[in-house]
């Protein structure tokens, strides 16, 4: 999970939407996250414009994600002087990977580990094996740097919206069925939610590093 933790000198939750930082900020520590970026097209945002207001009838505090991606790592802490070696190790492992298509069309509700945030996501239904292969390589880099590897049996997904707190009770069941019906009935959803993966990206603090696939 962990759709990106802001870099900053103080843990003021009012500055990041009421979210609670997963780990305390310390000078020289950089929150780092590896993921596949998703560039949202107009049609995707049109779908979101239907999905989100419907979900908000159940949980009004839901807000749209500012950017979209599929995580390949947990959010980890890197010391500043380890960023470039870490990125170089990642790039070395990504060079052999080919671009691939995946489909994300199954609505699912997620929380972070601490249950302090809830997300509405679209789960990957094809392309799962390729994501597992990518995670396997990312995990090996994490192990080299003594960092936490990704979750066992991960559910790869594209987070669409989030809120503070554990809102699974309100969102699962009837709401989830209705959201899935919206996705299934959306014009050209089959084409819209089939995505070509062209790169892996690493965000460390406020720096971004892109690793193109073959």
Listed in order, strand segments (DSSP E) in the chain are 29-38, 63-64, 68-71, 76-79, 100-111, 117-126, 157-164, 194-197, 199-204, 207-212
Domain holding 93, by residue range, is 27-207
Q: Which pLDDT score, from 0 to 100, does residue 28 have? A: 84
What confidence tier does 6 reach under pLDDT thresholds 50, 70, 90?
very low
Q: Tell me: the pLDDT tens digits for 69-97?
A: 999 999 999 999 999 999 999 999 999 99
Q: Tell me: the pLDDT tens digits for 7-45?
A: 333 334 444 455 444 445 566 899 999 999 999 999 999
Q: Is residue 22 part of a domain?
A: no
Instruction: Indicate the number of domains in the chain.
Output: 1
Mean pLDDT over the full length of the chain: 90
Q: Is residue 172 part of a domain?
A: yes
How far apart, in whole angstroms, are the C-alpha atoms of residue 167 and residue 186? 25
Answer for the pair 157, 68: CB distance below 8 angstroms, yes or no: no
Contact residues for 157 (Cβ-Cβ < 8 A; gap 6+)? 70, 104, 108, 110, 121, 122, 123, 124
pLDDT of 104 strictly over 50:
yes
Q: Tell me: the pLDDT tens digits for 59-71?
A: 999 999 999 999 9
How far apart, in whole angstroms, are the C-alpha atoms of residue 100 and residue 4? 24
Q: Is residue 129 part of a domain?
A: yes
| Residues classed as catalytic | 69, 157
pLDDT of 133 strictly over 60:
yes
Q: Is residue 136 part of a domain?
A: yes
Q: pTM of the prediction?
A: 0.86
CATH number, domain of 152, equals 3.90.1140.10
Q: Is residue 112 part of a domain?
A: yes
Q: Which pLDDT score, from 0 to 100, does residue 14 have? A: 41
Q: Which residue has the tokens 């084409």?
A: 191
Q: Which pLDDT score, from 0 to 100, does residue 152 have? A: 92
Q: Is residue 212 part of a domain?
A: no
User: What are the tokens at 127?
Assistant: 């392309």
Q: Is residue 81 part of a domain?
A: yes
Neighbour count for residue 42 (Cβ, 10 Å): 6
Q: Is residue 118 part of a domain?
A: yes
How far apart, in whole angstroms, are the C-alpha atoms of residue 172 and residue 109? 7
């Amino acid at each position: 999970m962990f759709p990106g933790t802001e870099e900053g000198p103080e843990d003021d939750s009012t500055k990041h939407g009421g979210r609670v930082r997963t780990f305390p900020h310390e000078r020289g520590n950089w929150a780092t996250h590896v993921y596949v970026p998703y560039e949202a097209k107009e049609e995707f945002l049109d779908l979101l414009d239907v999905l989100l207001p419907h979900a908000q009838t159940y949980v009004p505090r839901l807000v749209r994600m500012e950017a979209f991606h599929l995580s390949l790592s947990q959010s980890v802490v890197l010391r500043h002087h380890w960023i470039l070696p870490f990125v170089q190790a990642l790039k070395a492992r990504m060079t052999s990977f080919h671009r691939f298509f995946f489909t994300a069309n199954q609505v699912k509700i997620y929380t972070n580990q601490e249950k302090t945030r809830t997300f509405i996501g679209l789960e990957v239904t094809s392309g799962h094996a390729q994501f597992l292969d990518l995670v396997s390589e990312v995990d090996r880099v994490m192990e080299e740097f003594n960092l936490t590897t990704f979750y066992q049996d991960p559910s790869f997904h594209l987070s669409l919206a989030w809120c503070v707190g554990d809102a699974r009770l309100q969102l699962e069941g009837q709401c989830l069925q209705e959201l899935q019906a919206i996705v299934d009935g959306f014009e050209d959803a089959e084409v819209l939610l089939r995505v070509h993966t062209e790169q892996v990206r690493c965000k460390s603090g406020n720096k971004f590093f892109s690793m193109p696939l073959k």
